[in-house]
Amino acid sequence: MKLKGQVIPAPAPVKIKFYRGKDVFELNIASILDYTEFDKIVPLPKPPLVSKISTGSQYQDYNDIRYRVKFEEYVQQKSNYAVIKGLQATEGLEWGTVRIEEPDTWKNIQDDLRTCFTEGEIVDLMEGVREANNPTEAKQKEAFDSFFATQEQEKGSLFQEGEQQGMQSGVPASDLK
């Protein structure tokens, strides 16, 4: 997708720093623009089909308790995937028991995080995942300001080139008509 001829880039990764004595550990969290990989690993559950004998019609029962449990598990798995996939932007990060290719291990995220982070730090990390995938107004403003600053620089660059070409004749381009 483009805006004013320029490709709109993905949001920049969110960076979160954790301090341990003199050491600073920075985790990068990327946004996830494509869930195709997730959809292949964890398919969306389907509600059961119910037949209404009196009318001969069928409908999907979204209120079925088993479906609702499966759907809640699906939503949790998608959240877990967002955390794991987003943190892959952190070079050299190794999980203890979590493996992106093994959805059954995704439930271990909190356990793995608790081995080195406090509850407050885990909250900050989860907030970073949310921020990466749903930038706040401040982050959006920062991105738009950067985008439009680039546009202005390009316009200024083109104007300067025109001025320089006009000056080759000894007459400022602004005086040419």
Q: Tell me the pLDDT band of 170, cut-offs 50, 70 and 90.
A: low
- Token pair 């660059």 is found at 157
Whether the predicted pLDDT of 147 surpasses 70: no
CA distance 79 to 97: 17
- Residue 79, classified by CB atoms within 10 Å of its CB into exposed (0-12), middle (13-18) or buried (19+), is middle
Quick check: is 3 in a domain? no
Structure tokens at 122: 């885990």
User: Is residue 176 a part of any domain in this protein?
Assistant: no
68, part of any domain: no
pLDDT value at residue 137: 72
Question: pLDDT tens digit string along 22-63?
Answer: 999 999 999 999 999 999 999 999 999 999 888 889 999 999
pLDDT bucket at 12, cuts 50 / 70 / 90: confident
144 found inside a domain:
no
Structural domain range at position 32:
10-42+80-139
**CA-CA distances (angstroms) from residue 125 to 35, 109, 110, 111, 135?**
21, 12, 11, 14, 14
Average pLDDT over residues 111-116: 96
Give the pLDDT of residue 54: 86
153 falls within a domain:
no
User: Residue 149 carries which side chain, given as an amino acid letter?
Assistant: A
Domain-located, residue 156: no
Q: Give tens-digit pLDDT for 62-88.
A: 999 999 999 999 999 999 999 999 999
In the predicted model, is pLDDT for residue 167 greater than 70?
no
For the chain, what is the domain count?
1
Residue 47 within a domain: no
pTM above threshold 0.85:
no
